[in-house]
Amino acid sequence: MRFVVVTGMSGGGKSTALKMLEDAGFYCVDNLPASLIEKFVELISMPNGEITKVALGLDVRSDQSFQKTTEVLRELKEKGYQYEILFMEASEQVLIKRYKETRRIHPLAADGRVEDGVRREQTVLQAIRKMADYVIDTSNLLTRELKAELDRIFVRNEEYNSLMVTVMSFGFKHGIPSDADLVFDVRFLPNPFYIDDLKHKTGNDKEVQEYVMGFEDAEIFLQKLTDMIQFLIPNYVKEGKYRLVIAIGCTGGKHRSVTLANELFWRMKDQGQYGIKLYHRDMAQSSLQDLQR
């Protein structure tokens, strides 16, 4: 039997992950009290049982200190029960934004301040996060991308990439991404915005890509950047880092940064040591502003 414990930060995507696992054939139980976990595991582990895949959702609603829950899980391991822990999380800024958009009350925000609740929960869940077999950061993850990642791990049983790399383009005039780990400025390259035929196109268009990459400095920069990232990633993996956001910025986040982010993504894709996704934060925003002028 495959037994998966799904836990993590409130607002991190735990409920969504449980629904996806249920669609994949898992028998799912959510928010079981800590005092009932061991009895539940004993029942589903009985010989000749019909249930072969189980997902159990656990969070601070049932045990706000989470100490009892963590102790029960450790005791189960000592008794020989096998399980995997999937920990769902997102950046602090994203979690706060999600709660404010839905107007839900955070389970640990007794005074009503979402920020305080998120920070308390991060502290409470430190121990179980360290125990986790899989950590998925949903800060920049689309629903379909989360489903693909869960299918890869729990349906196709492929190797889990502990580090998720996000290559992000952005515009400096819209602000530097708050969750960026590495920030690179490509405003040293000629700007396609001042070319009439390219002004309203983006770095996803072939004409802009050919213009930007036609400069020798663009290719040199990209090669040096790729070499540095490939050097850093194994060291990040070794140190247990789960998320790496590489932000490449130009003025508006529409031409140069998009082109170079695309190029870096394709050069790093399918390397096997990490998962990778591409995100253009300001491309659509810049295009909309062009239309409104």
Model pLDDT for residues 82-108, shown as the tens digit of each residue: 999 999 999 898 999 898 888 788 888
Q: Please tell me the predicted confidence (pLDDT) of residue 131.
A: 93
Model pLDDT for residues 38-77, shown as the tens digit of each residue: 999 999 888 877 888 999 999 887 677 788 999 999 999 9
Integer Cα distance of 57 and 87 in angstroms: 10
Task: Give the domain 2-154 fold.
Answer: Rossmann fold (3.40.50)
- The string of DSSP letters for 106-175 reads PTT-TTS-HHHHHHHHHHHTHHHHHH-SEEEE-TT--HHHHHHHHHHHHTS-PPP-S-EEEEEEEEGGG-
Q: Please tell me the predicted confidence (pLDDT) of residue 293.
A: 37
Residue ranges of the chain with per-residue pLDDT less than 50:
288-293
Q: Please tell me the predicted confidence (pLDDT) of residue 205.
A: 96
Tokens read off for 160: 């889990």
Domain residue limits, the chain: 2-154, 164-292
pTM, 2 dp: 0.71
58: left (phi over 0), alpha (psi -120 to 50) or beta: beta
Q: Please tell me the predicted confidence (pLDDT) of residue 24.
A: 93
Inter-CA distances, 116 with 95, 125, 138, 220, Å: 12, 14, 20, 45
